[in-house]
Structure 1
Amino acid sequence: MKTIQKMYEHLIWANQRILETLQSIGDENQDVFRLFSHILLAEKVWITRLQGLDSSRLPIWSDVDIEVCAELVMQNEEILTTFLIDLANTNLDKLIPYKNSKGIEFKNSVRDILIHVALHGQYHRGQINSLLRAKGIEPINIDFITFVR
């Protein structure tokens, strides 16, 4: 649980760093905003599933502006922080049933879902950095080791 907690502290930190950079570069970078909103919307979908709620009407891809991203960063951080505090006394191997965006049913453990969400976000944050570099913008250092320093 300590490792998962640290992963989510990093996730929250990295999302905040990406948000701050995107707020400073303007909204002519729609492909970057689309990737960032995907990270945040996917987090919301998985949070909803972990809470045992229906996520079938939630988008995972959407063209949203930076203000919506900022709101999602704040909401996801609040919900994830509370969820992880409450999770400390539950079973990480508990299976969570859910349907994916195509309506196919799956069951995965809380542990596997949490690890997936953290890795999924880091993958796409790397893509954001590649896009920024291609546009001549300095990539954002979101390395885990930078975070723990």
Structure 2
Amino acid sequence: MNLIPLLHHMAWADDAARRQLADMPVGSAERARAERIYAHLVAAEHVWFSRLTGVAARHGVWPEIDPDEAAALSTDTVAALVTWVESRSPDELERPIVYRNSAGTVFENRAIDVVLHLAMHGAYHRGQLALLARSSGADPASTDFIAWLRGAPAPMHE
């Protein structure tokens, strides 16, 4: 399974979600909630990447960071994740990783499943962000995988 398109979509969709925040009314409850969810979305990507690599995470899964910090974290994490996945053989991606969740419980999952989880986790939260944008009067961003494949708003893949 080629995970790279999912990761490029993740970068594109995270950026679209960030841009969507700017269209929401400043000071609104919806924007405040959306900024918190966006920070969680990208921090979770960072935490899961840390679990994959065994390197300590710099942020928890619900950090107090602003959208610009979150955007930088997303860019750095997804780029590192692409490099990491590209450097792994299919057999390596099938190997389990052992990690502790935020409650300290130990789990074991295949690396490929962690990467797939990241794609699905992001889609879930980007849906929440679209709902918040709509309820604030802003237009929700189109962040669907198929929209990315079709080149909306601009192709980010080859």
The answer to whether 1:44 aligns with 2:46 is yes
> What is the one-letter code of the residue matched to 2:72?
E
The corresponding residue for 2:21 is: 22
CA distance in 1, matches of 2:144, 2:74: 19
With the length of structure 1 as denominator, give the TM-score of the two structures: 0.90
CA distance in 1, matches of 2:37, 2:128: 8
Q: Greater shift after overlay, 97-106 or 27-36?
A: 27-36
Q: Greater shift after overlay, 74-83 or 40-49?
A: 74-83
Alignment: residue pair count: 147
CA distance in 2, matches of 1:123, 1:134: 17
With the length of structure 2 as denominator, give the TM-score of the two structures: 0.85
> What is the one-letter code of the residue matched to 1:129?
A
Give the 4+ runs in structure 1 shifted more than 6 A.
Answer: none
| Gapped regions of structure 2 (runs ≥ 5) | 151-158
The corresponding residue for 2:155 is: none
The answer to whether 1:102 aligns with 2:103 is yes
Question: Percent identity between the aligned chains?
Answer: 32
The corresponding residue for 2:140 is: 139
Q: Pairwise CA RMSD of aligned residues?
A: 1.7
CA distance in 1, matches of 2:94, 2:78: 23
The corresponding residue for 2:35 is: 33
Q: Note the C-alpha offset of 1:21.
A: 2.4
